[in-house]
Amino acid sequence: MPTPALPLPPPAHAAPLPPALPGPDGTRLLPGVPYAALPGARPLELDLYLPAGDGPHPVVLFLHGGGWRLGSRRSGGPAFPGRTLFGRVAAAGIAVASADYRLSGEAVWPAQLSDAKAAVRWLRSRAHELGIDGDRPAAWGESAGGHLAALLGLVTDPELEGDVGVTGPSSAVVGVAAWYPPTDLVGFAGDAGADPADAGTREAQLLGAAPADAPDAAAEASPLAHVSAGAPPFLLLHGRADRFVPCVQSERLADALRAAGADVALHTYPGADHMWLDAPEAAADALDRTVAFLRARLLGG
């Protein structure tokens, strides 16, 4: 008699949710939730920080920085150690899904955007279970994560949608908050005083080649190249003394969004470096502005 086949486990994006862990002020954390899996790669996971109450809560997808080659979903940058960044936003009534994505040492462009889009689709598909409003997600990120958040708001090309994780739901977002994001990979080396033919830069590792040797990929990976009048509202925050991502990168995107007729607010901080290093007042103000922006977009005030 043949041995009956064992039932296959559900795909990662359909796996049961972990139990929620209690946080301060009634907030809750669902840690390490898989939103997609790829053969031969680590599972793609996110941590979901939920406000107090039953919901449905508005939700923002957060994407970490690290030059596309470092970092994890647990980090909001050195100005906000531990989970303080995400806890602050959850306490303000907005759920935060902080997601990992494939780093440049694991896969090159456009894998990172494919993963970010997969995370949005997953949030939409599991919204009822999660107690979130899946109809109106926003995106937020810092540095490389700000670059990906901006792309989530701007890229509508089906060729860049990807097929990671759950497919079907939209990956569109209704607002983007980006802290010190690279926005123009074609012009980045010139802005930073670097060599566009250098294959060892963070941008080259993302693209799989130096920007000078892969101009089409550099343009495709640039939020600046995808600006249109249909862009959602943007909040761009950048230190004027940023040594890693020149402030002109945010200024250039803001100018393009305004020229297209899109809604954009740009605020820059004199003397503030990348990641708000040694600029605690800028860090605090950036978080306050981000919470206010997200509340206005997702809660109407």
- What does 128-191 look like in DSSP terms, one character per residue? HHHTB-TTS-EEEEETHHHHHHHHHHH---GGGS---SS-SS----S-EEEES----TTTHHHH
Burial 278-296 (b: 16+ CB within 10 A, else e): ebeebbebbbebbbebbbe
- In CATH, the number for domain 19-184+222-298 is 3.40.50.1820
Instruction: Tabulate helix, strand, coil % of the chain (nearest 5).
Output: 35, 15, 50
Q: Enumerate the domain spans of the chain.
A: 19-184+222-298
At residue 9, the pLDDT reads 58
Given a cut of 70, the residues of the chain with pLDDT beneath it are 1-10, 301
Q: What is the structure's pLDDT at 154?
A: 99
- Residue 255's pLDDT is 99
pTM value is 0.95
Q: What is the pLDDT of residues 22-63, one digit of tens each?
A: 998 899 999 999 999 998 889 999 999 999 998 899 999 999
Axis-axis angle for helices 111-125, 144-154 (nearest 10): 70
In 3-state terms, what secondary structure has residue 268?
strand
